[in-house]
Amino acid sequence: MTKTLAFVVYPGLTALDLVGPLQVMSALASLDPTYRVVAVGRDLDPVGTDTPLRLAPSHTFAEITAPDVLVVPGGGAPTMAALADQELLDWIRTAADTAWTVASVCTGSLLLGAAGLLEGRRATTHWGCRDLLTRFGATPVAERWVADGPVLTAAGVSAGIDMALHLVERLAGPELARTVQLFIEYDPQPPLGPIDWQSVDFPAFEPHTRRMVTDGLADHPELLARLLG
């Protein structure tokens, strides 16, 4: 039986949030044809991202209603605006009813929260937005990725690749996950070394987060107050 791995596409998302884990899962599907990967949106029209790249879904919400795995990418102000998109949230809830795993990357976890899927769960997101998870009943965790039952959340942007490799291991075992990692040659060696989290000025980023939320939810004062009040 074919298992469907669905990635949500919506306007303004962060390209790597989607494309990083999408590449991992596409490698899985190429090695094991019992998996198929789809990109799902409201319609098939290309949408903008936070880069000059535009992305077109392969399927619509109406065509994919019961995926086995659901992955929701994040972004900046457009993702905040999507917190008020009831059609998107309704589809996420419906898809989550049948999915073995519901996953997110970066601020995609806020969409899971808005859909009511994080209540009482440990979760993570981009470090600049981590505290917002409490607004949806979640416990924020400062980890690269967090598994809590069927819900899997990744930290910011590139963390989606790590999360996706863990998901491959969960679905198909460690040997195949290592093969996928080799196929995509995922062997991070950042030229400036790892992030020194002890030196990050978290309070200095707070105005950026508030501006992002305010810009995205300017037309939704109740939701804006929920996140920033």
pTM: 0.97
Task: Please give the structure tokens belonging to residue 203.
Answer: 């309070």
Helix (H, G, I), strand (E, B) or coil at 152: strand
Residue type, 165: L
pLDDT computed for residue 29 by the predictor: 98
Instruction: Label the pairing between strands 59-60 and 35-41.
Output: parallel
CATH number of the domain at 38, please.
3.40.50.880
Q: What is the pLDDT of residue 229?
A: 83
**pLDDT at residue 30, rounded to an integer:** 97
Judging by beta carbons within 10 Å of its beta carbon (0-12, 13-18, 19+), is residue 57 exposed, middle or buried?
buried
**Cα distances (Å, whole numbers) of residue 3 to 62, 99, 102, 132:** 18, 10, 14, 33
Q: Ramachandran region of residue 93, left (φ > 0), alpha (ψ -120 to 50) or beta?
A: alpha
Cα(55)–Cα(47) distance, integer angstroms: 5
Pick out the chain residues at pLDDT < 70.
none
Catalytic residues: 106
Taking a C-beta distance cutoff of 8 angstroms, is the pair 69, 171 a contact?
A: yes
- CB-based contact 90:119 (threshold 8 Å): no
pLDDT at 143: 97
Confidence (pLDDT) at 7: 98
Q: How many domains does the chain have?
A: 1
173 Cβ contact partners less than 8 Å away, ≥ 6 residues apart: none
Domain holding 190, by residue range, is 3-228
Strand-strand pairing, 122-123 and 139-140: parallel
Given this model, what pLDDT does residue 1 score?
87
pLDDT of residue 59: 98
| Helix, coil or strand: residue 71 | strand
Which pLDDT belongs to residue 56? 98
